[in-house]
Amino acid sequence: MNKRFDHKICVVTGAAQGIGQGVALALAAEGGAVVLADRSEFVHETAAAIRTQGGRCLTVLADLETFAGAQSVVDAAVAEFGCVDVAIHNVGGTIWAKPYQEYAEAEIEAEVRRSLFPTLWSCRAVLPQMIAQQGGSIVNISSIATRSIHRIPYAAAKGGVNAMSMSLAMEHASDGIRVNAVATGGTEAPPRKVPRNPKPMSEEEQVWYQAIIDQTVTSSLMKRYGSIQEQVGAILFLASDDASYITGTVLPVGGGDVGMG
């Protein structure tokens, strides 16, 4: 197996489940020491899986919708390992699925807090460390849902992730920092251990959600959802030195659905 992350200290946010967990396990398998950040206790299960395979990791429970939470992750990483070479910011995900006019004011704000602010705060927290060490790789997880239906606040948040990633790349290339984003497409994943919205969907909400699925498959040239591993492969590529001449890029991984930058 490749060991692209030997001697690399890698932060992964949202590491308790889904794509974030898949990224963390793959980084550890390729030799990285992984700092696992999440607000769910389930993140300890990811740590146990890594340690069972002989990998090194550290768990940090933090609310990444706050700057204090994001800073606590970087502080813990530096205290334990001395630096941060790779930061993969994965927290986000639409909470509700409905036409825009059906969203309440508080729901719109909650969607932006969930899918934009964790990446804004996490980038802000890790930048001083990467500037000080004059190097690092940041991969922010975006979405092809920047062109989608029934999740407009989420689309706006992920459009913000794309914009900040490209702008940060311009601002900090001179510091040896690469910043890219992966716009994930529809991805098959196990049921979430912690639902974003624990309230059962009404019949109308189920229809709205099914419309998202149908639109996602239709927009994909390959007419299917992808796997977690298909997303992980792209994320690790951009995080690694294999992509040493790539920065300021939003890479769509959606079977040919490119979304919109």
CB count, 10 Å around CB of 7?
A: 9
pLDDT at residue 1, as a whole number? 67
Kindly report the CATH number that applies to the domain delimited by 9-253. Answer: 3.40.50.720
To which H or E segment does residue 261 belong? none
Catalytic site residue 154?
Answer: yes
The CA angle 176-177-179, to the nearest 5 degrees, is 150
Q: Map out the domains of the chain as residue ranges.
A: 9-253
Q: Of 129, 109, 116, 131, which is closest to residue 64 (Cα–Cα)?
A: 116
- What the block records as the tokens of 248 is 């300021």
Q: Of 22, 56, 18, 58, which is closest to residue 37 (Cα–Cα)?
A: 58
Catalytic residue, from 154, 209, 225, 245: name it.
154
* Global pTM value: 0.96
Which stretches of the chain score pLDDT less than 50?
A: none
DSSP string over 25-93: HHHHHTT-EEEEEESSTTHHHHHHHHHHTT--EEEEE--TTSHHHHHHHHHHHHHHHS--SEEEE----
pLDDT at residue 100, as a whole number? 98
CA pair distance 173, 95, nearest whole angstrom = 34
CA pair distance 61, 64, nearest whole angstrom = 9
8 Å CB contact between 145 and 240: no
